[in-house]
Amino acid sequence: MRAVQFDEFSGLDALRLVGVADPEPKAGEVLVRVTSVGLNFFDTLVLRNRYQFTPKLPASPGGEIAGVIEALGDEVADLAVGQRVMAYVGGNGCQERLAIKAANVIPIPDGVSDDVAAGVSITYGTAIHGFKDRAGLQPGESVAVLGAAGGAGLAAVEIAKLMGAHVIAVASSKEKVDLAVQYGADEGVDYRTCDLKDTLKQRTAPDGLDVLYDCVGGDAAEPSLRALGWKGRYLVIGFASGDIPRIPLNLVLLKGCDVLGVFWTAFVDREPEAHRANTLQVLNWCQEGRLKPHIHGTFPLAATTDALRVIQERKASGKVIVRPQE
């Protein structure tokens, strides 16, 4: 079968399209013909060995997939050949077939495409975990999303809106703000054209911002923190800007606010049943048409490098998908 792999941590240039042996499912596993792979910003970090985990080489990018079961390993009784499924796999998704633990796959409901299913595990999973499990978001509260037009940001906008929040989309251009508003944000802020702290304070007066969802880090972090109200919650999602901010802890003290890490991959490992329940909720919302994930674009397997470059250069608006069968 074909796979896109890297055998050194030198960035996008390390990726190669290669031929490898087909995997065989062991006991408790299923063999999945991969139809769609969701790519994420962390894939670009893994390629440079700048992520929390270092994969065993050679490895493939792509942490979430959708596909069709082709074979069952021993001791698998609740799934069937031909069934469409999705899974968070952590990595090695960009190949034509994968052997996956049966306990980790979730059937895809009718009416939800493979591209959508492959793109919701991480971004939407992170958003619902962040807002529900970490921030305890309540209807009527205000939420600002930094990096609101990327895949993670749009997911946060949609989830927060479904949970009844007033959503402020913060992005780096009018076009990106407009896209986030199209996907449910109540209003938007182009942070390159204003004083972000003052603008967020004005938009959330007199009480200040309740929840900040930060996918970006960098220079936008501190002014956004300063806009938080009493007992506000700052959700640390990631650092797409490339810079990890240094938070003045005196602000945390004075505001009585919480800075909460949202480490979704650890949550999946430590609380698998809660993760599964969150994923099923997201899939149900997609099936009902209440969530409409935005696909930035799809790429054939041989163009995986191009797909990741779109993400690395922060040009993606929505989810970037690779289709290994193309």
Residue 45 placed within a domain: yes
Whether the Cβ atoms of residue 196 and residue 223 lie closer than 8 Å to each other: yes
* Residues 66 and 195 both lie in one domain: no
Same domain as 243, residue 303: no
Residue 242 has pLDDT above 80, yes or no: no
261 and 144 belong to one structural domain: yes
- Look at residues 228, 250, 265 and tell me which one is the last residue of a structural domain: 265
Q: Cα–Cα distance between 267 and 41 in angstroms, integer?
A: 19
In tens, the pLDDT along 170-210 reads 998 999 999 999 999 999 999 888 999 999 999 999 999 99
Q: Is residue 279 part of a domain?
A: no
Domain shared by 112 and 9, yes or no: yes
Q: What is the pLDDT of residue 298?
A: 97
- Read off the pLDDT of each residue in 264-284 and give the average, rounded to a whole number: 95
- 3-class secondary-structure state, position 129: helix
Query: At 52, which CATH number?
Result: 3.90.180.10
Residue 70: closest CA among 107, 33, 38, 100: 33
Looking at 265, 283, 315, which one is the last position of a domain?
265
Residue 276 falls inside a structural domain: no
> Inter-axis angle of helices 174-182 and 151-162, to 10 degrees?
40
In a domain, 284, yes or no: no
Same domain assignment for residues 225 and 245: yes
Q: How many angstroms separate the CA atoms of 85 and 77, rounded?
A: 15
* Per-residue pLDDT at 6 exceeds 90: yes
Q: Say what the pLDDT of residue 272 is.
A: 93
Where a domain ends, among 246, 265, 284? 265
What was the pLDDT predicted at 321? 97
CATH, residue 256: 3.40.50.720
C-beta separation of 228 from 257 below 8 A: yes
The predicted structure's pLDDT at residue 134: 98
* pLDDT top residue among 136 and 242: 136
Considering the domain architecture, whether residues 205 and 260 belong to the same structural domain is answered as yes
> Do 130 and 255 lie in a common domain?
yes
- Global pTM value: 0.90
Same domain, residue pair 316 and 235: no
Q: Does pLDDT of 240 surpass 80?
A: no
Count of structural domains, the chain: 2
Same domain? For 164 and 258 the reply is yes
Establish if 180 belongs to a structural domain. Answer: yes
The three-class DSSP label of residue 139 is coil
Distance CA 137, CA 60 (A): 36
- In a domain, residue 99? The reply is yes
**Does residue 43 form part of some domain?**
yes
Instruction: Name the residue range of residue 81's domain.
Output: 2-119+294-323
Residue 249 lies in a domain: yes
DSSP notation for 51-73: SS--PPSSB---SEEEEEEEEE-
Same domain, 235 and 316: no
If asked whether residues 102 and 141 sit together in one domain, one would say no
Statement to judge: residues 53 and 168 lie in one domain: no
